[in-house]
Amino acid sequence: MIRTVMIRTMRTLAALGSSLLLLVPAACSLGGEDEDARTTADALAAGLTAKKLDDVPFRDTDPTDAYAAVIDGLGDAPVEVSAADPELDGDAGSVSLTWTWDISGNEWTYRSRAQLAKDGEDWQVVWDPSVVEPSLEDGEVIEVDTLYPERGAIVGPHDTPIVVRRDVVKLGLDKSTLTKEQELVSARAIAKVLDIDVASFVERVRATGEKAFVQALVLRRQDAANLPPTYGENKGAVAIPATLPLAPTKEFAAPILGSVGEATAELIEKSEGRLRAGDLTGLSGLQSRYDEQLAGTSGVQVEAVKGKGTERELFSTEPVNAEDLHLTLDTDLQLKAEQILSQTTPASAIVALDPQTGKILAAASGPGSKGLNTATYGQYAPGSTFKVVTALALLRNGLTPDSTVPCTATLSVDGKSFKNYDDYPASHVGDIPFRDAFAQSCNTAFIAERERLGKDDLAEAAAALGLGADHDLGFPAYFGQVPEAATETEKAADQIGQGKVLASPMAMAAVAASVRSGHTVLPKLIVGHDVDQVEPEVPLTDAEAGQLRALMRGVVTDGSGSFLAGIPGEVMAKTGTAEYGTGDPLPTHTWMIASTDELAVAVFVETGQSGSATAGPLLERLLTER
């Protein structure tokens, strides 16, 4: 009985095995069909991503041009398309597609579905606009509008407006109603009236489309009121009201603030997708360095469009508001400083700091600087204003204000002859107190004491007064240099702020502020830009600061800065000149630094007579007219 059951069981298993063998070929056939459809779906996803459909099998049509037309409005926006597993039903099927667009940093993700059809042994895609976006119909295309945030303002203390949107007038040529011949005639005439380069403007007119507006010049609204009447007599000449982010005046801290304009091709490339053609962006200065903060983040609105008035929204993101940039500049004081420098022909600068906090209240570069940032980044020999630093080094090495020093008419060092400035008072030549040598600015007395100083003493004194130690202040700032002297002659020149010693007006204002406050003052302009101050190796002491204040006060009461004696308060100052260049006599940089309880100021004029005669009157005006 058992043997009969075993035989029956074996026969049953054998029969079942035969059935399984018959089923295997059918299962392989179905797997191959799935794989073929999967291959077609993957080819579709890859082609849509690459925006090239050459390798995608389509049924009955080549949708290459249709696809390009639908997505043309998305420009160069990259897209990633992935395909799910196809769903098949006989000779038909479909595949779900996941689309992820990157539109100026805004991610747009959605799903669409493509229909599949079998042609013989091959699976093909059935084209329809809904493959690109599920709601698209025949004739609809996708377009994108950028939603711009309001650009952030640059403001001073108490949110006083510095750079805000101000009314302007855009002047230029509207080509839409002109013939080619009229365009060129008007272009030449407009350029001449506006005093811009004729050839350049004509070339831009030639290069633009038939109905373009070609901008020639942008004027503040008040300046446009003085436009010559002949401007409007030219065919196609237009004046378009607009607004732009502008400072109170064209000159206002211009080298520091920088400018705003349309993004250049170079800036667009460097932005890694943040900027597009036509975007307003910072081109220089603070506007450029803090552009991402001031620009905010643009939003987008994606629409399906079929002719005018048939737009419907597919996707949108709101723009993110920009953040204002807060500065320490005192608007009134900056305007006053620029007014004072307005008639100064050489490069020039006025820098005013709060002597306690280091806040930059004014940083003006004159018209002779020709757009360069002389105020905070100029690099010049500081001349006798540097004697404040030398005095500190000498005081640290045994000299006192009452020490007697030799002030001779000339002094020779290794064959190099040094002398005092041309109108140095003869009554102060000879053995005089160091305080007198400082007040009268006797070069030979300072050079004669050079043997007191070691190789690092001058640099350490400079650092204690805020000169020579670099910091990233968030804007172009030059702190100066006091390198080790290579020769005795160079050491002698360094003593009086020449040789290889360099400083900016900002750095010399910091020297005046450090003496006034009794501690090393670090200039500040950008509110919220925290800087770890590099502490000097030998900090300024209260006693040293007191001695320096007395020496600088003596310049006003008994020395070359006596013209400031009538200004209320305890004004302290130091004048300076520094020879440079070639000629006989050599031209001179002229300087003056001073401080009151409220201000520490440096005034610089690249070429002048002397510190007291050239820079002095400018400083006096700032202190008395502010």
* 208 and 121 within one domain: no
Segment 612-615 long-range contacts (CB within 8 Å, at least 24 positions apart):
612/560, 612/561, 612/563, 612/575, 614/590, 615/575, 615/590, 615/591
Its pTM stands at: 0.82
Q: What are phi and psi of 549, to 5 degrees?
A: -60, -40
Q: Is the pLDDT of residue 342 over 60?
A: yes
Q: What are phi and psi of 512, to 5 degrees?
A: -60, -40
Judge whether 147 lies within some domain: no
Q: In what order do the strands lie in the sheet with 588-595?
A: 360-365, 348-353, 600-605, 588-595, 572-579
Tokens of 450: 């050079």
Residue-level pLDDT at 33: 67
Decide if 508 contacts 591 (C-beta within 8 A).
yes
* 260 and 125 within one domain: no
Q: Is the pLDDT of residue 9 over 80?
A: no
Name the strand (E) or helix (H) holding 24. Answer: helix 2-50
Decide if 341 contacts 618 (C-beta within 8 A).
yes
* 297 and 352 within one domain: no
Residue-level pLDDT at 259: 92
Structural domain containing residue 348: 331-580+587-603+612-625
Q: Is the pLDDT of residue 4 over 60?
A: no
Q: Tell me the H-state helices in 112-165.
A: none
In whole angstroms, what is the distance from residue 55 CA to residue 35 CA? Answer: 17
User: Residue 464's CB: how many other CB atoms inside 10 A?
Assistant: 27
Judge whether 500 lies within some domain: yes
Query: Which pLDDT band holds residue 16 (cuts at 50, 70, 90)?
Result: very low
Kindly give the pairing relationship between strand 141-147 and strand 122-126: unpaired
Where do the DSSP E strands lie in 554-599? 572-579, 588-595
3-state SS, residue 425:
coil
* 209 and 120 within one domain: no
pLDDT in tens, 199-255: 999 999 999 988 899 999 999 999 999 999 999 999 999 999 999 899 999 999 999
In whole angstroms, what is the distance from residue 66 CA to residue 126 CA? Answer: 13
Q: Considering only CA atoms, give the Rg of the chain.
A: 38
Compute the average pLDDT of residues 474-501: 97
**Maximum C-alpha span of the chain:** 146
Compute the average pLDDT of residues 144-169: 93
Q: How many domains does the chain have?
A: 3
Decide if 314 contacts 133 (C-beta within 8 A).
yes
Could you report how far apart the first and last alpha carbons of the chain are, in Å? Answer: 125
Indicate the length of the chain as a whole number.
626
Share of the chain above pLDDT 90, in %: 84
Tokens of 53: 């459909």
Query: Which pLDDT band holds residue 323 (cuts at 50, 70, 90)?
Result: very high
* 82 and 96 within one domain: yes
Average pLDDT over the chain, rounded to an integer: 92
Q: Is the pLDDT of residue 586 over 90?
A: yes
* 296 and 349 within one domain: no
Q: What are phi and psi of 194, to 5 degrees?
A: -85, 0
Q: Of 26-30, 142-146, 184-188, 257-261, give the lowest mean pLDDT range.
A: 26-30
Q: Tell me the H-state helices in 147-239.
A: 180-194, 198-207, 221-224
Given 137, 169, 200, the domain boundary residue is 137
Compute the average pLDDT of residues 483-502: 96
The answer to whether the bond into 585 is cis (omega within 30° of 0) is yes
Judge whether 23 lies within some domain: no
Kindly give the pairing relationship between strand 237-246 and strand 161-174: antiparallel
Judge whether 41 lies within some domain: yes
Q: Is the pLDDT of residue 19 over 60?
A: no
Residue-level pLDDT at 11: 37
Tokens of 317: 């993101």
- Give 623's contacts (C-beta < 8 A, 6+ positions apart): 564, 567, 571, 594, 596, 599, 601
Q: Is the pLDDT of residue 336 over 70?
A: yes
Tokens of 82: 């992935």
Decide if 203 contacts 229 (C-beta within 8 A).
no
Query: Which pLDDT band holds residue 398 (cuts at 50, 70, 90)?
Result: very high
Judge whether 343 lies within some domain: yes
Q: In what order do the strands lie in the sheet with 299-305?
A: 141-147, 299-305, 312-317
Q: Is the pLDDT of residue 272 over 80?
A: no
Q: Hey, which residues does 43 pair with through a beta bridge?
A: none
Q: Which residue shows structure tokens 């002297």?
A: 485
Q: Is the pLDDT of residue 136 over 50?
A: yes
pLDDT in tens, 415-463: 999 999 888 999 999 999 999 999 999 999 999 999 999 999 999 999 9
Buried b (16+ CB within 10 A) or exposed e, 118-150: beeeebbbbbbbbbbbeebeeebbbbbeeebbe
Judge whether 159 lies within some domain: yes
User: Residue 90's CB: how many other CB atoms inside 10 A?
Assistant: 6
User: Residue 329's CB: how many other CB atoms inside 10 A?
Assistant: 27
Q: Among residues 332, 329, 327, 326, which one has the least CA distance to residue 362?
A: 329
Decide if 127 contacts 112 (C-beta within 8 A).
no
If phi > 0 it is left, if psi is from -120 to 50 it is alpha, else beta; for residue 99 that is: beta
In whole angstroms, what is the distance from residue 508 CA to residue 511 CA? Answer: 5
Given 108, 137, 166, the domain boundary residue is 137
Q: What are phi and psi of 364, to 5 degrees?
A: -105, 135
* 503 and 401 within one domain: yes
* 187 and 281 within one domain: yes
Q: Is the pLDDT of residue 616 over 70?
A: yes
Decide if 71 contacts 108 (C-beta within 8 A).
no
Residue-level pLDDT at 167: 95
Residue-level pLDDT at 104: 82
In whole angstroms, what is the distance from residue 89 CA to residue 25 CA? Answer: 20
Choose between 148 and 284: higher pLDDT.
284
Q: Of 31-45, 221-235, 434-448, 598-612, give the lowest mean pLDDT range.
A: 31-45
Judge whether 545 lies within some domain: yes
Decide if 181 contacts 156 (C-beta within 8 A).
no
**Which DSSP state fits 235?**
T
* 508 and 576 within one domain: yes
Given 326, 342, 376, the domain boundary residue is 326
- Specify the CATH number for the domain of residue 337: 3.40.710.10
* 161 and 281 within one domain: yes
* 259 and 170 within one domain: yes
Compute the average pLDDT of residues 46-64: 95
Residue-level pLDDT at 28: 33
Judge whether 17 lies within some domain: no
Q: Is the pLDDT of residue 21 over 70?
A: no
- Specify the CATH number for the domain of residue 35: 3.10.450.50
3-state SS, residue 352:
strand
- Half-sphere exposure (Cβ direction) of 47: Cα atoms closer than 13 Å: 21
Query: Which pLDDT band holds residue 24 (cuts at 50, 70, 90)?
Result: very low
Sign, CA torsion 331/333/336/341: negative
Tokens of 300: 């987008």
One-letter amino acid identity for 172?
Answer: G
Cα 489 from chain centroid (whole Å): 41
Query: Which pLDDT band holds residue 32 (cuts at 50, 70, 90)?
Result: low
In whole angstroms, what is the distance from residue 434 CA to residue 155 CA? Answer: 46
Compute the average pLDDT of residues 391-406: 98
3-state SS, residue 562:
helix
**Which DSSP state fits 100?**
E
* 128 and 216 within one domain: no
